[in-house]
Amino acid sequence: MSAPQPHLVVVGASLAGLRAVEAARRAGFDGTITLVGAEEHLPYDRPPLSKDFLTAVETPAAPTLRDEATLRDELGVSLRLGTPATALDTDERTVWLGHDPLRYTALVIATGATPRTMPGAAKLTGVHTLRRLDDARQIRAALDTGARTVVVGAGFIGSEVASSARQRGSAVTVVEAMPTPLARPVGEEMGIVLANMHERHGTTLRCGVGVESLEGTDRVEAVRLADGTRIEADLVVVGIGVAPTIEWLADSGLELGNGIECDKTLQTSAPGVYAAGDLASWPNPLFDTRMRLEHWTIAAEQGGVAARHAIDPANATGYATVPYFWSDWYGRRIQFVGVAAGTDEVRVVSGDIDSGSFLALYRHGDRLIGALGLEQRSQIMKYRLMIARGGSWSEALEFAAARNAASA
């Protein structure tokens, strides 16, 4: 029996999936490539959906990453959009799109994550999560009418929506169940500092109180909090996190846990099957720990890595990265590199936490493990490089002092 024709199947037509097919072609893969997407849309960029897409004066175009001609003609990709994958059979090397089988010789899974929602949300209009283009269009339409807005969850998506809604002139309240917002991504101390930006820009922030219920018959009318407070709302945006989109893999035999459990090369427990993006959990050697990250940059990196390894497993190597994410609130850029978990000390080394521009470094033992910048575009990536090299705390402090002196 002759070997099957090489066929790379990429399931998930968002950023990680797109970068996977691009990387495969760049690496010289000349077999068939099929890109499978649950949504009807061509691959598009999600970060703008909570930012410019909501604030632009004119109705914005979809933030499409590649047009159809580029995908089909330049990249030679067969597109299967609007057809969610429903099952995976690793013995038969087949992805099922409903009743339609798709055989692969190499597979990259990049189906991302799905927003968590709250009880009662589905039966009320005016209540949205924000992940997809269609969500953003509906939220934008509500803001067009000056909707009084309640955001549930003071994480990055929720905070960006709050910022955008304020910019559009809406009254905005953010409700956060935890006493401190953003404690996991940036630590409690800096979470409070960032959250203070809301009040300074006219957004009401309520922390440490959960949502009791959403009120309304067909359309949402108010949000009832656990302490009895009732906040009238025309628009409710729920930003309480996401869960990896792995239900379709339940019977696949793939090792699942916190997402898809991968080895250091992003290979899943099945040969020839790799994962990338929000759902991939892998041991990151730079931090001696397993990670699963929901960051744009990581999806872009992992898409390329997973595809290169899938088409050439013999040359697969360990994937190491220093996490990077950003968020834009009220016209200001927040950037974080590294990790906040395990922090022994956070030190502000430049600027002032009340000034709207500062840089804070994170220490674990004698090592630099993280850096948070607000409006620190020219500084922050120096520390991403330093963390990647295993830079020490004293080196980081000296470097920061030298930079401060040079700019004084």
Chain positions contacting another protein, by CB under 8 A: 19, 22-23, 26, 45, 47, 65, 296-297, 300-301, 304, 322, 324, 326, 333, 335, 337, 377-378, 380-381, 384-385, 388, 407
Closer Cβ to another protein, 190 or 322, answer by number = 322
State the minimum distance, in angstroms, from the CB of residue 297 to another protein: 6
Closer Cβ to another protein, 45 or 263, answer by number = 45
State the minimum distance, in angstroms, from the CB of residue 356 to another protein: 14
Neighbours of 212 (CB within 10 A): 14
Q: Kindly report the backbone phi and psi dihedral angles of residue 22, in degrees, each rounded to the nearest multiple of 5, phi listed first.
A: -65, -45
Closer Cβ to another protein, 26 or 123, answer by number = 26
Contact 242, 113 (CB under 8 A): yes
C-alpha angle 400-359-173 in degrees, rounded to nearest 5: 175
State the minimum distance, in angstroms, from the CB of residue 218 to another protein: 39
State the minimum distance, in angstroms, from the CB of residue 44 to another protein: 12
Closer Cβ to another protein, 22 or 160, answer by number = 22
Instruction: Check residue 46 and report its DSSP letter.
Output: S
State the minimum distance, in angstroms, from the CB of residue 322 to another protein: 8
For residue 38, give the nearest of 10, 77, 65 by alpha carbon: 10
Instruction: Check residue 147 and report its DSSP letter.
Output: -
State the minimum distance, in angstroms, from the CB of residue 304 to another protein: 6
State the minimum distance, in angstroms, from the CB of residue 78 to another protein: 21
Closer Cβ to another protein, 130 or 371, answer by number = 371
Closer Cβ to another protein, 248 or 319, answer by number = 319
State the minimum distance, in angstroms, from the CB of residue 305 to another protein: 10
State the minimum distance, in angstroms, from the CB of residue 61 to another protein: 14
Closer Cβ to another protein, 121 or 388, answer by number = 388
What region, left, alpha or beta, does residue 205 occupy, with left being phi > 0 and alpha being psi -120 to 50 degrees?
beta
Contacts 24+ apart (CB under 8 A), 20-24: 20/108, 20/110, 20/276, 20/303, 20/304, 20/306, 20/307, 20/310, 21/71, 21/75, 21/77, 21/307, 22/75, 22/304, 23/303, 23/304, 23/305, 23/307, 23/308, 24/307, 24/308, 24/310, 24/311
Report the largest interatomic distance among the alpha carbons of the chain, rounded to a whole angstrom: 72
Contact 295, 324 (CB under 8 A): yes
State the minimum distance, in angstroms, from the CB of residue 223 to another protein: 33
Closer Cβ to another protein, 246 or 266, answer by number = 266
Type of residue numbered 190? M
Closer Cβ to another protein, 59 or 378, answer by number = 378
State the minimum distance, in angstroms, from the CB of residue 377 to another protein: 4
The residues near 64 (Cβ < 8 Å, ≥ 6 apart) are 41, 42, 43, 44, 45
Closer Cβ to another protein, 11 or 23, answer by number = 23
For residue 48, give the nearest of 108, 136, 177 by alpha carbon: 136
The token duo for 50 is: 């909570």
C-alpha angle 2-3-4 in degrees, rounded to nearest 5: 115
Closer Cβ to another protein, 322 or 339, answer by number = 322
Query: What DSSP assignment string belongs to 265-328?
Result: TSB-SSTTEEE-STTEEEEETTTTEEE----HHHHHHHHHHHHHHHH-GGG--------EEEEE
